[in-house]
Amino acid sequence: MYPQVGPYDHGMLDVGDGHSVYWMACGNPDGKPALYVHGGPGSGCGARSPGQFDPAVYRVVSFDQRNCGRSTPHASEPVIDLSTNTTDHLIRDMEQLREHLGIDKWLLFGVSWGSVLSLTYALRHPGRVSEMIVTAVATGRHCEVEWLIRGFGGLAPEAYERFLAGVPDPGEDISAAYHRLLMDPDPAVHRKAAENWCAWEDAIATVPPGRDVEHEPWEPRFQLAFARLVTHYFSNRCWLADDQLARNGHVLQGIPGVIVHGQLDLGALTGKPWVLHHAWQGSELVIVEHGTHAAGTAEAVMAATDRFAKAPVHSS
């Protein structure tokens, strides 16, 4: 990994609807522009540049998506309205940030949910994307959400039984049921729901699924915001048409891109890396042996960023 450097510039961008989005720029101010699009929804972008980019040659921009990280208002607040946090809003925020920073085109690096957001942005603003790298891939298909909240159950039955026990009626949409509990004003109710949801997130992130892994406890404020945002998006199927890539994949054809997939990323059993690769003509699919959803793919991503660093960015 390259050195993860702190920002040389940062700020809060007023994007409307009462939201201010935190952004930062790291690396070389005169370098090739790249945008890191974090996962979750709600994970936040962290305090330093992604280590997959050479800070000597890239101007790496990162931002906290609405209601998470350092952006305000925060989704953990006792009374929070998430109605102005949708995929369309986030795409507009990205475009407003690009204009604010005076960037003509940028490379997009999307991780997990960030890959959905990057792909959607590229479909709507292809002329603003020089290249794209996606890893821990998601494409926004409805079956991918269903797999995460139901399909995984057969791979981690004990953890799944505990997950289902957290909602009154496990026969309904689980993400919607959890979201209602997470938005309950009673702290005892929404904190317990956040713990249950994030315990399931832990269970499906392990190989094999459900294996107990020691890690730092979830920070309560982050945990609540993360669970609220994920269930907000999942219960609305990310406000995306189920077949948007199949219908519009031709738009990506002129954008050089690399899809990095961990061989042991069990969230990809719906076939999403291959669906994306076939829809996005000219893309490169890299399968990383022993890579998972969260680890093992950095070297392959760095190979792509190093290669793209040498490609000129042509103004539109």
**Tens digit of each residue's pLDDT (9 = 90 or more) over 229-282:** 999 999 999 999 988 877 898 899 999 999 999 888 888 778 888 999 999 999
Locate tokens 């890893």: which residue? 135
The last residue of a domain, from among 193, 214, 239:
239
Let me know if residue 273 belongs to a domain.
yes
Let me know if residue 149 belongs to a domain.
yes
| Rounded distance between C-alpha atoms, residue 216 and residue 164, angstroms | 24
Query: In terms of domains, do 282 and 193 share one?
Result: no
Query: In terms of domains, do 148 and 134 share one?
Result: no
Let me know if residue 303 belongs to a domain.
yes
Query: In terms of domains, do 41 and 172 share one?
Result: no
The last residue of a domain, from among 207, 239, 271:
239
34-48, 154-168, 174-188, 208-222: lowest mean pLDDT where? 208-222
| Rounded distance between C-alpha atoms, residue 215 and residue 212, angstroms | 10
**For residue 185, what pLDDT is reported?**
95
Residue 20 falls in the annotated catalytic set: no
Confidence of residue 76 (pLDDT cuts 50, 70, 90): very high
**For residue 314, what pLDDT is reported?**
64
**pLDDT above 80 (res 294):** no
Residue 265 falls in the annotated catalytic set: yes
Locate tokens 């959905």: which residue? 116
Structural domain boundaries, residue 196: 143-239
Phi, psi of 236 (to 5 degrees): -105, 15
**pLDDT above 90 (res 21):** yes
Tokens of 201: 């997130």
Pairing between strand 7-16 and 19-27? antiparallel
- pTM for the structure as a whole: 0.95
DSSP state of 156: S
Let me know if residue 315 belongs to a domain.
no
Cβ contact 186:172 at 8 Å: no
Query: In terms of domains, do 213 and 246 share one?
Result: no
**For residue 212, what pLDDT is reported?**
75
Among the options 89, 190, 232, 293, which is catalytic?
293
Query: In terms of domains, do 41 and 132 share one?
Result: yes
What phi-psi label fits residue 140: left (phi over 0), alpha (psi between -120 and 50 degrees) or beta? left
Q: What CATH number has the domain bearing residue 118?
A: 3.40.50.1820
Query: In terms of domains, do 134 and 249 share one?
Result: yes
Among the options 54, 235, 265, 277, which is catalytic?
265
**For residue 175, what pLDDT is reported?**
96
Let me know if residue 1 belongs to a domain.
no
Let me know if residue 291 belongs to a domain.
yes
Query: In terms of domains, do 55 and 82 share one?
Result: yes
Among the options 112, 115, 118, 175, which is catalytic?
112
The last residue of a domain, from among 204, 239, 274:
239
Cβ contact 114:38 at 8 Å: yes
| Rounded distance between C-alpha atoms, residue 8 and residue 187, angstroms | 39
Let me know if residue 17 belongs to a domain.
yes
Query: In terms of domains, do 100 and 173 share one?
Result: no
**For residue 215, what pLDDT is reported?**
75
Question: What CA–CA distances, in Å, run from 52 to 60, 110, 179, 259?
Answer: 10, 12, 34, 14
Confidence of residue 38 (pLDDT cuts 50, 70, 90): very high
Query: In terms of domains, do 199 and 302 share one?
Result: no
Domain count, the chain: 2
Let me know if residue 277 belongs to a domain.
yes
Query: In terms of domains, do 69 and 103 share one?
Result: yes
Query: In terms of domains, do 132 and 273 share one?
Result: yes
Query: In terms of domains, do 14 and 160 share one?
Result: no
